[in-house]
Chains A and B, each alone.
Chain A
Amino acid sequence: MFTPERRAILAASLLLALTVGASRAETPNLGKPLDEAAIANWDISILPDGAGLPKGSGTAAKGAAIYAEKCSACHGDNGKGGLSAALVDDRQNTQIAGISASQKTIKSFWPYSTTIFDFIRRAMPFQQPRSLTDDEVYALTAYILAENKLIGAGDTMDAQTLPKVKMPNRDNFVIRFPDRI
């Protein structure tokens, strides 16, 4: 027979064993703890609501100059396309017709303006990714949006204004397998 005291200890260790067994298999714990400040330089994900957008701002006028210097060699004069995709769609009617991906221009297809900032900052220019300042990325984003007539020519893009830009095709998406999310 166990004394009440021993029984309590046994019950406690059994509970501990069950808890450990059920929710937390023993793992090596070899990860090095970091704080978000240490990760900040890598943390370049921008969410559609603007979360993650850095300080800074830019206008189309500033963006035009940066574009001519660092982007036009591949994307063509004024974003009309060249070796790489066109960034500006000046068709009157940008309605999707047919299933070809050639219609997936920023203006006709992209659902969120934040994607432009996110992609430029992480991947462009192709030969020197991560070389642009945040102000330059805002300016290029403003330039592309303004050339596509999605914002006014003088509008400033920053962490507050960019997520508010309404993209024309935003509501035309259907989640393929909702149960997988």
Chain B
Amino acid sequence: MATSRDRDARGKALEAVAGNGLIDRRALLGRGMVLAGAMSAGVGSAAAGAEPLADDPWSLEVGESTPPYQVPSKFEAKVARTLSNPNNEPRNSHARTPHHLLAGTTTPNGLHFTINHGGVPTIDPDKHRLVIHGLVKQPLEFTLEALSRYPMTSRVSFIECGGNSAPMFSPEAMQENVQAIHGLVSCAEWTGVMLSTLLEETGIDPRAKWFVAEGADSPHLSRSVPVKKALDDAMIALYQNGERLMPGNGYPMRLLLPGYEGNMNVKFLRRIKLVEQPAMSVYEARTYSQILPNGKAYQFYFLQEVKSFITSPSLGATLKGPGLYEISGIAYSGTGRIEKVMVSADGGQSWAQAALQEPVLSKAFTRFRMPWRWNGGPATLQSRAWDEAGNVQPTRAEFVAARGELTKPPPVLGFPNQHYNSITSWGVASNGEVKHVYA
């Protein structure tokens, strides 16, 4: 029996906390009750005359045999990555995560974004080796079998391509979905050996300030990383969400640099060389240096800064009439934990704090949720994140003032610039259609 006090609390929880229908996030705690309460008025009339429940065919026959490695239901075939180079032409291949079709904070391994610069290599794990050399006391070679005997660490970490969200450098909002815009970020639990453990065995010459990490893929992709990061939280990752790395994610081993630009997390890792100065490989000298409005360019950006975006509702969805909805999205920061996420339904005129799904982990996806009663009118949905270091996701105006924008829309698969982290806005029209807008 609900007491009057419960009803008061429930009523309070359903109170609007910001413009255009945002409801106190605490309503989510008693969501079952809230929804039951909201629906109770119509139960009697709608229930009359409903079809009697019948058994469906799958309830009347024995199901399929059990596969050794299960894959999603055939009805989920549309939950797939989008490919930039499906025929493996001689160029980069991108596969983007369908965030609008996922929930929670873990990206399934088959849907983790990948970018490969010379196809996906087929590496024999028994022949693969990792060599650490250069400014060390003793160069060492490690096999996968050897590394498998080392003390392991597991950590949940997002990896984001420095070029993720690049379509938002466009001067006008491109009508692309969250997968096309933000699909080059994913989050997984990575298990492996801390790089610092291996460097304890090789020893470090005090002159070493950087290390060059190199892959065994055909472009021998290489990046320079400060030794500081090696001694902080760099890992040689061997497992992804509990199983060996996916081939496209660096099988059999990759560098994991939590919070740092995806390209630096060198896959198929075969060599680490400690050096005094950065190598200025093509990816740091050219690709991941960002041109600024004053003609200069950033170098060694490294950090994927605090960011969030709403995954539901988002472009491609059509709301089916006024009523209660849950706004949901992802927040993350390369600096640490997400402190809070604010949501607006009126294009940033008013904001309310979203509920954060526990556990809130450092440098990992944090799912935020916000109850919302859509009144059927136009709405502009936005999210804005803060991290524990006090960094705040910039508004688009703030971002453009500092970093500039293009003069015309880029190709959606292009990378006109990188490290875009400002607010994403989804405009809901009266017919329920969701578009990408700048607000």
Tell yes or no: A25 within 8 A of B by CB: yes
A174 touches B220 (CB 8 A): no
B280 touches A111 (CB 8 A): yes
Q: Give how many A residues have a beta carbon under 8 Å from the other chain's beta carbons.
A: 58
Evaluate whether A34 and B300 lie within 8 angstroms (CB atoms) in the complex, with A97-B295, A104-B291 already known. no
Q: Which residues of A contact B289 (CB under 8 A)?
A: 104, 109, 173
B131 touches A34 (CB 8 A): yes
A62 CA to B169 CA, complexed, in Å: 42
* Proximity string of chain B (161-183) to chain A, C-beta cutoff 8 Å, 1 when within and 0 when not: 00000000100000000000000
Q: Which residues of A contact B276 (CB under 8 A)?
A: 47
Evaluate whether A172 and B295 lie within 8 angstroms (CB atoms) in the complex, with A99-B405, A101-B417, A122-B220 already known. yes
Which of B103-111, B132-140, B241-249, B364-372 forms part of the interface with chain A? Answer: B132-140
Chain B residues touching A, range: 35 or more
| Residue of chain A at shortest CB distance from B229 | A180
Query: Which residues of chain A from 87 to 123 have a CB within 8 Å of any chain B CB?
Result: 95-104, 109-112, 114-115, 118-119, 122-123
Instruction: Say how far A158's CB is from chain B's closest CB, in angstroms.
Output: 19
Q: Which residues of B contact A51 (CB under 8 A)?
A: 275
A175 touches B300 (CB 8 A): yes
Evaluate whether A34 and B285 lie within 8 angstroms (CB atoms) in the complex, with A45-B275, A98-B407, A127-B90 already known. no
| Residue of chain A at shortest CB distance from B139 | A34
Query: Which residues of chain B from 77 to 114 have a CB within 8 Å of any chain A CB?
Result: 89-91
A174 CA to B218 CA, complexed, in Å: 31
B291 touches A101 (CB 8 A): yes
Evaluate whether A99 and B406 lie within 8 angstroms (CB atoms) in the complex, with A27-B201, A33-B140, A47-B275 already known. yes
Instruction: Say how far B352's CB is from chain A's closest CB, in angstroms.
Output: 32
A84 CA to B118 CA, complexed, in Å: 13
Tell yes or no: A3 within 8 A of B by CB: no
B282 touches A119 (CB 8 A): yes
Query: Which residues of chain B from 146 to 164 have a CB within 8 Å of any chain A CB?
Result: 146-147, 149-151
| Residue of chain B at shortest CB distance from A118 | B281
Other than the given A99-B416, A101-B291, A173-B296, 5 more pairs (CB < 8 A) read: A31-B141, A35-B139, A36-B139, A48-B280, A176-B300
CB within 8 Å of A: which residues of B?
Answer: 89-91, 117-118, 131-133, 138-143, 146-147, 149-151, 169, 197-198, 200-202, 209, 212, 214, 218-222, 226, 228-229, 270-271, 273, 275-282, 285-287, 289-293, 295-303, 403-407, 410, 415-417
